[in-house]
Amino acid sequence: MKRRKKLVSLLLTACMAGSCLAGCGGNTKAPEESSVKNETTAKEVQNETTEGAAVGTEEVDPYGPVSEEKTVIHVGRAESANVTYPDGEDSHNNYIVKYLQDQLNTEYIYDFSVDDASYPTKVAMAIASGDMPDVMNVTYTQLVQLVNAGAVEDMTDAFATYRSDALKKCFDSTNGMSEGLATFDGRLMAIPDIQPGMDSVPLVYIRGDWMEELGLEEPKSLDDIVNIARTFMEKNPGGNVTDGIAVGLSSDKKLVQKNGGTWHVNGLFTLFDAYPKMWIKQDDGSVVYGSITEEAKTALGEIRSLVEEGIIDPSFAVRDSEQCVEMISNGQAGIFFGAWWSNQWPVVSMLEGAADSVKWNSYVAPLNAEGKLNVPMKSPTTTYIVVKKGCSEEIKEAVVKTVNYQYDLDQSQAENVRPNGMDSPFSWHYYPINVLHCDYDAKEKQIQSVMDCIDGKVAYDDLSGDGKTWYNGYTAVLKDGFRKTVEKNISTANGWGWANGAWTVQSQADKLNLQYAASYADSPSMESLWATLETQEDEFYLQVLTGNTSVDEFDKFVSQWKALGGDTITQEMTELSGAN
């Protein structure tokens, strides 16, 4: 007999659908349908859901076994080459997978598990052939395709019934954005991932020891950063300086990294109120693509002047991440732009092999005239867990409960599950359904609790997962210095890196001007038109910045962009955002 407790309240199902819509930048619809603006407030939905759950449902254990009989789930997943497993274990046979199978009485069978680079192609083939595993992760475009084809299960009821209170809190942190992106016609058709919003904040990293040697002060404006770069190049501390700012392209050959990253120039664009690759709602309610605005034109011209002066080397256009790391490790440049986590990688990795005197400082800069750093906030969701049409209710339940556990494990960093305590390696890539669910504001809360613990306001035992790791690392470096800490344990040094980077952001949160997109969804015409438009945009930006095309050609670029489908997509995005 199957041992499970069923949802019996239709009200809860209806409220769950409403919750998925509330707070999103427009109700996401299948391509052939128009957006319908949801008028229910998030607070009303939350109240209705709570009342419905209390009145019309039996208590459900979000962590209990799915059934007395083993539930088998066929999974398609991506493998990360940067993950280390305990001896004798791998992505399928590891202590996390075994723990989940024991707790839920499930068995995860990997129909395919391929490297990250091959995964998109593998998923596309599975969709095209119709030979899909029970569960896999897809992009937004693939989700729309699957929903239109009726190829995936409706997860509304299962998600409302079996998600844990902790996972609900995680989704609440996005104010409805994540669930809204996976909602079609009022039904939740996938379980979105959630990533930390702090990743979006563009910081500038500068060689602190060089600043001290040359008597340079902390930068605030772009002029300050440029002056530091000029001084480094003129005075040549270390004897190897060739570049002012180390800039390179992302792995997908993008200069602007809309989800944050390292080696980008995001902060140079936003300084001029330009938000490339983001859909912005204007004061009159219309929507504009941030890459084609007058502000973007101004920013391109200003950045081009930095390339002309040599502050940014024109060879950035053919430079990748590894080459940037080599540059700053060799002392060829003493400045780069990155995220909060860049203080762990590449900074800790560089410091590990550097002289004791080397320092890297991170700053919230460049600030605008109002003393603010404009931040283009990333979508909380980039990946969607889908369940193949025709899968059993047991599989749907198992998927939701698996995500419950995975979220909790990530919060505690699997502290009570690791076989050798915190000395055992761990990564969220160990999960069978390998997606990350992290509160959108998790890093802000985490580093604040660490600093409160240092100040005696929070007990050490009350810190969870990363909190203890960050605390241990941060206090170890304060007490013993980086060199002694890294010699004892690189993991402790990594904890310092993460904490130091996160505190740079959180300690100056009042300087951040957070800019959210009008909508993070893709419009219907994007599937056929966007690749061409994005290629045109990326090529034009690079041609301007490398001097092969004048910024005066910007208006022509915009006209071409609009004619090639940009106007059509803009109208669709306006509808998606609920502006009309």
Q: What distance in Å separates the CA atoms of residue 254 and residue 565, rounded to the nearest whole number?
A: 21
- Tens digit of pLDDT at every position of the chain (580 positions): 333 333 333 333 333 333 333 333 333 333 333 333 332 333 333 333 343 444 345 689 999 999 999 999 999 999 988 898 999 999 999 999 999 999 999 999 999 999 998 999 999 999 999 999 999 999 999 999 999 999 999 999 999 999 999 999 999 999 999 999 999 999 999 999 999 999 999 999 999 999 999 999 999 999 999 999 999 999 999 999 999 999 999 877 888 998 899 999 999 999 999 999 999 998 888 899 999 999 999 999 999 999 999 999 999 999 999 999 999 999 999 999 999 999 999 999 999 989 889 999 999 999 999 999 999 999 999 999 999 999 999 999 999 999 999 999 999 889 899 998 878 899 999 999 999 999 999 999 999 999 999 999 999 999 987 899 999 999 999 999 999 999 998 989 999 999 999 999 999 999 999 999 999 999 999 989 999 999 999 999 999 999 999 999 999 999 999 999 999 999 999 998 874 4
Fold assignment, 10-195+382-430: D-Maltodextrin-Binding Protein; domain 2 (3.40.190)
So what's the pLDDT on residue 414?
92
Q: Are 71 and 394 in contact (CB under 8 A)?
A: yes
> In the CATH scheme, what is the code of domain 200-377+517-576?
3.40.190.10
Q: What distance in Å separates the CA atoms of residue 321 and residue 338, rounded to the nearest whole number?
A: 12
Q: What distance in Å separates the CA atoms of residue 402 and residue 386, rounded to the nearest whole number?
A: 13
Q: What distance in Å separates the CA atoms of residue 120 and residue 116, rounded to the nearest whole number?
A: 8
Q: Are 277 and 258 in contact (CB under 8 A)?
A: yes
> Domains of the chain: which residue ranges?
10-195+382-430, 200-377+517-576
Q: Are 569 and 534 in contact (CB under 8 A)?
A: no
So what's the pLDDT on residue 58?
67
Bridge partner list, 176: none
| 222 φ, ψ (degrees, to nearest 5) | -65, -35
Where b means 16+ CB within 10 Å and e means fewer, 361-370 reads: bbbbbbbbee
Give CA 510 to chain center in angstroms.
22
pTM of the full structure: 0.86
Distances (CA, A) of 25 to 22, 179, 521, 568: 9, 11, 8, 19
**Beta-strand (E) ranges in 182-241?**
183-184, 187-188, 191-192, 203-207
Q: What distance in Å separates the CA atoms of residue 2 and residue 205, rounded to the nearest whole number?
A: 56
Distances (CA, A) of 404 to 78, 132, 160, 205: 20, 23, 12, 37
Q: Are 147 and 30 in contact (CB under 8 A)?
A: yes
So what's the pLDDT on residue 580?
41
Cite the DSSP H helix spans in 261-332.
Answer: 266-270, 294-309, 321-329
Q: What distance in Å separates the CA atoms of residue 361 and residue 335, rounded to the nearest whole number?
A: 10
